[in-house]
Amino acid sequence: MPENFPFKAPSVKFTTKIYHPGINDEGHICVPVLRDQWKPTVSLSSVLITIQDKVNNPSPDDPFEPDIAVLLKNDKAKFLATAKEWTKKYAT
């Protein structure tokens, strides 16, 4: 949490690698509420719900990782297989 929270958004970073179009190699997630749409009235629970929704429902629109987004758009089965492989490799 930043020192000037709630006037500045919290910093969110995944420490486990994740194969996702909205999460980059450094673990940062592409969520507007954590960037340009942050307001001091945003609750932490709504931020966590937004992150959970983003992780569970990957979208190829506005990606951090364009190559992964293209695969999600053009070959969802391969995208899911790679995501499953990364989960086994990095999260178990």
Positions annotated as catalytic residues are 30
Q: Are 9 and 38 in contact (CB under 8 A)?
A: yes
DSSP string, 19-60: --TTB-TT-BB--GGGTTT--TT--HHHHHHHHHHHHHS--S
